[in-house]
Chains A and B, each alone.
Chain A
């Protein structure tokens, strides 16, 4: 609870310290993607390499209802959530039929299919030009045109979603996901229908990713083809592993660091991913639990001192 309070404080104060509300909004939407990914990897033990599929589904669906129906923003986000959840449940149900690395490859393959579908389906997605002209309506009479206002709106939505994830992790359902991660066969032997739990977890992960996609569409008033490409899926994996899969806080931390570094370093040196790759290798090789586990160790030591 105290950790969540610290998170709320940081999110609330961030725009006062760093005056880049767009970057901070992007940290939150990307952070939500990493948290959604971590529900599958950290809790259930499934490495999904296709999370951008659900992000893209949510972003396009939300953008479409904003453009075509002039829908209210909460409704558009809800449409994004549903689109992400349905896509993820369908892909998840197929991907989990492959065990181990085959399941990973299936999420990868479906992502590639989704990318080409978005690329071809220009009427809906704008193809490689992207989908532009997405309106960003205000909410309850408050304009969200100002980037800082939109940041606070996003912050509220993402924090609520994050609290929901903490709640799910601590639920009986979350406990079963960890049982599946630890020993799937034994979970089955004591009477759990493992498939149903996995598909439900995919749907939740997809719902969160679709929500992130919808917020992202509102942020840039534009959905680039990049929202659904494999690079984005890879970046989600990297950010979550960097932060640590032991906790949703870790995923959020990793996403924040990844977003800040990719934005700042890319201005300095175009080959910045090289440096980032080295940092990533060091973390994976020497700090298995990611940066969050290092932070936890420090705080424990500080508590003992």
Chain B
């Protein structure tokens, strides 16, 4: 579904992503792990169109999307959630999600209709909120939500755009262990319906959820395989799991 070829991003002399080839297959939950500074988020920014690569190409659904910006890639079905909570703070929870659902209509330049007349959009927003257990907060401002609920809202916004591929950048970051578990469970159920690429630091969780894992280090792919293969890989053990795998 998504494939990169020799994808490279240089900032000055430093290559944050260096000749990366990954393939995300339909229906998989593909985790990307690696130490801080390994280039995971930069890779995400290249996949979502936030950044343009210095070299290499990104293909999505058989199409070269390297030159497409983030807006176009979102319209093609690449949905992305952000490492730092990225919502519309002074709009209500419902408005946040409705705006995301509205992007998939041709009605956003309608000046003379009332936004409440877009019944499908509202229905979709409600369905997504309900799925995330946020329907009770629909009239609250996004900024008033607790941290864990804001992370859920962040995901809900991404899902309301009706993507086919989800890029989730450390969705559990900054959450209490309990909230993190709740969120990861949610991602587990999403994986039944979506193709997901997940950056996550919590390695035991990743090992449990992911169907495929790519390990990055110094901007390069260190290893790729199933969780069992990664666990057994000696290079990964020394570079990464060795220090953290005992947890």
- Report yes or no: A172 in contact with B110, Cβ–Cβ below 8 A: yes
Q: How far is the CA of A171 from the CA of B117 in the complex (A)?
A: 9
Segment with Cβ contacts to B, from A127-135, A186-194, A247-255, A285-293: A186-194
Q: Which of B4-12, B88-96, B200-208, B211-219 contacts A (4 or more CB under 8 A)?
A: B88-96
Evaluate contact between B86 and A191: CB separation under 8 angstroms.
no
Chain B residues lying within 8 Å of A178, measured Cβ to Cβ, are: 88, 91, 95
Flag if A190 contacts B74 (CB, 8 Å): yes
Given A172-B107, A176-B102, A183-B88, answer yes or no on A189-B114 (Cβ-Cβ < 8 Å): no
> Which residues from chain B contact A298 at a C-beta distance below 8 Å?
none
Most-contacted residue by chain A among B89, B103, B107 (CB, 10 A): B103
> Judging by beta carbons under 8 Å apart, are B111 and A173 in contact?
yes
Taking CB atoms, residues of chain B closer than 8 Å to A170 are: 114-116
Whether the Cβ atoms of A190 and B157 lie closer than 8 Å is: yes
Mostly, the A contact residues are helix
Question: Is the beta-carbon distance between A175 and B95 smaller than 8 angstroms?
Answer: yes
What is the interface residue range for chain B against chain A?
35 or more
Taking CB as reference atom, which chain B residue is nearest A180? Answer: B88
Interface size on A, residues (CB 8 A): 27
1/0 per residue A171-209: CB within 8 Å of B? 111111011001101111111111011001000100000
Give CA–CA (A174, B117) in the complex, Å. Answer: 14
What is the CA–CA distance of A178 and B91 in the complex, to the nearest angstrom? Answer: 8
Partner of B112 from the list A167, A190, A196 (CB cut-off 8 Å) is A167
**B118: Cβ under 8 A from any A Cβ:** yes
CB pair B91–A189 under 8 Å, yes or no, is no
Q: Take A185-B86, A186-B88 as given contacts and tell me if A171 and B115 are in contact as well, using a CB distance cutoff of 8 Å.
A: yes
Verify A190–B100 contact, CB threshold 8 A: yes
Contact A189/B102 with A172-B113, A173-B108, A176-B108 known, Cβ cut-off 8 Å: no
Inter-chain CA distance A49–B115, complex, in Å, is: 30
Q: Choose from A176, A182, A191, A200 the contact partner of B71 (Cβ within 8 Å).
A: A191
Write the nearest CB–CB distance from B41 to chain A, whole angstroms.
14
A39 to chain B, nearest CB (A): 11
In the assembled complex, the Cα of A133 lies from the Cα of B88 at a distance in Å of 51
Can you report 13 A-B residue pairs in the complex whose CB atoms are below 8 A from each other? A170-B114, A170-B116, A172-B102, A173-B111, A175-B102, A178-B95, A179-B99, A187-B88, A188-B71, A189-B70, A190-B99, A191-B74, A192-B103
Partner-A contacts on B (CB < 8 A): 48, 50, 69-71, 74-75, 80, 82, 86-91, 95, 98-100, 102-105, 107-116, 118, 121, 157-158, 161
Shortest beta-carbon contacts, A-B, top 6: A182-B88, A191-B74, A191-B103, A191-B75, A172-B115, A179-B99
